[in-house]
């Protein structure tokens, strides 16, 4: 495999960070935390909907740092399959609804998803907490990535000699982008949770950092039992149906004027 030009992972993060420092035309900051539910409506499978199984694979066997060490060939095959599934998927109305909200808000998307559907729908500011399935990197470093355009095979190495792997944050690995996500949450004027069970940490802890007075919404067909539920305006619908409700909510319309 001939590697395409490498990029530093910090560059897009710096660009996104500037979004909160210089809000566009004084628009208020809408910070949106998205999870698997929004991608599921584009046909992408989730562990959440399969009782912890994905194509009969356990999370522990294909999505952990331990699995990568014990059976790297299986982990690579699994993410090769996921990348191909992602390429077949297209953004849905929920993704485009978030783009529409940029007319009135400085929308910052913090996503737990590793697909590129937010990018393909046209959202401007996106921070991936758990990595990106469009990129790969050496097992030796998180900082340098390469475009992930072909299957990764065991034995294929980066220039530093390390085995190539998907640029994915596996369970048991640190989440490098959580610090900037925490800054976003703390500076939100409006906070929205879409399609996530709020069960995976540290992402689930971001809601604790949102100022108490800030309006908070949650959109999910199955509203999860969370500690802050009494502070959240619940919209118990799939993302594609719930985002139009959000756009037309009186609080959102007033803040976006």
Q: What are the tens digits of pLDDT across the range 101-128?
A: 999 999 999 999 999 999 999 999 999 9
User: Pairing state of beta strands 125-128 and 131-138?
Assistant: unpaired
Rounded Cα distance, 98 and 85, in Å: 23
For residue 227, pLDDT beyond 70: no
pLDDT-derived band at 228 (thresholds 50, 70, 90) equals low
Distances in whole angstroms, Cα of residue 4 to Cα of each of 1, 147, 159: 9, 6, 11
- Collapse the DSSP code of 68 into the 3-class scheme (helix H, G, I; strand E, B; otherwise coil) and give the result: helix
In the beta sheet, which residues pair with residue 110?
Answer: 33, 127
Reported as a single tens digit per residue, the pLDDT across 21-42 is 555 558 999 999 999 999 999 9
- Contact assessment for residue 73 and residue 152, using Cβ atoms and an 8 Å cutoff: no
- For the chain, domains (ranges, CATH) are 7-53+88-256 (3.40.50.1220)
Rounded Cα distance, 62 and 191, in Å: 32
pLDDT at 45: 81
Rounded Cα distance, 236 and 34, in Å: 15
What count of residues does the chain have? Answer: 257
- Contact assessment for residue 142 and residue 192, using Cβ atoms and an 8 Å cutoff: no
Reported as a single tens digit per residue, the pLDDT across 142-200 is 999 999 999 999 999 999 999 999 999 999 999 999 999 999 999 999 999 999 988 77
- Contact assessment for residue 157 and residue 164, using Cβ atoms and an 8 Å cutoff: yes
Rounded Cα distance, 222 and 225, in Å: 9
Q: Give the residue numbers marked as catalytic.
A: 130
Alpha helices in 89-150 (DSSP H): 93-100, 117-121
- Contact assessment for residue 34 and residue 118, using Cβ atoms and an 8 Å cutoff: yes
Phi, psi of 182 (to 5 degrees): -65, -40
pLDDT at 224: 76
pLDDT-derived band at 12 (thresholds 50, 70, 90) equals very low
Burial of 12 (0-12, 13-18, 19+ CB in 10 A): middle
């Amino acid at each position: 495999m001939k590697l395409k030009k490498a990029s530093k992972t910090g560059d897009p993060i710096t660009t996104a960070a500037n979004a909160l420092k210089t809000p566009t035309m004084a628009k208020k900051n809408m910070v949106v935390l998205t999870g698997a539910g929004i991608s599921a409506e584009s046909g992408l499978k989730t562990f959440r909907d399969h009782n912890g199984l994905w194509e009969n694979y356990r999370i522990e066997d294909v999505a952990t740092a331990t699995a990568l060490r014990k059976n790297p060939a299986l982990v690579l095959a699994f993410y090769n399959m996921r990348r191909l599934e992602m390429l077949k998927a297209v953004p849905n109305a929920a993704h485009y609804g978030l783009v529409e909200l940029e007319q009135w808000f400085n929308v910052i998307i913090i996503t737990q998803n590793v697909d590129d559907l937010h990018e393909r729908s046209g959202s401007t500011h996106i921070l991936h907490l758990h990595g990106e399935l469009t990129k790969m990197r050496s097992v030796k470093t998180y900082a340098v990535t390469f475009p992930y355009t072909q299957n990764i095979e065991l034995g294929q190495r980066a220039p530093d000699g390390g085995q190539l792997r998907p640029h994915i944050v596996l369970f048991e690995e640190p989440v490098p982008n959580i610090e900037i996500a925490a800054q976003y949450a703390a500076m939100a004027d409006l906070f929205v949770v879409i399609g996530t069970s709020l069960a995976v940490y540290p992402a689930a802890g971001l809601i604790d950092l949102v100022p108490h007075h800030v309006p908070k919404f949650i959109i999910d067909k199955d509203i999860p039992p969370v500690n802050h539920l009494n502070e959240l305006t619940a919209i118990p619908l799939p993302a594609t149906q719930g985002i139009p409700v959000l756009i037309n909510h009186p609080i959102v319309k007033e803040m976006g004027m």
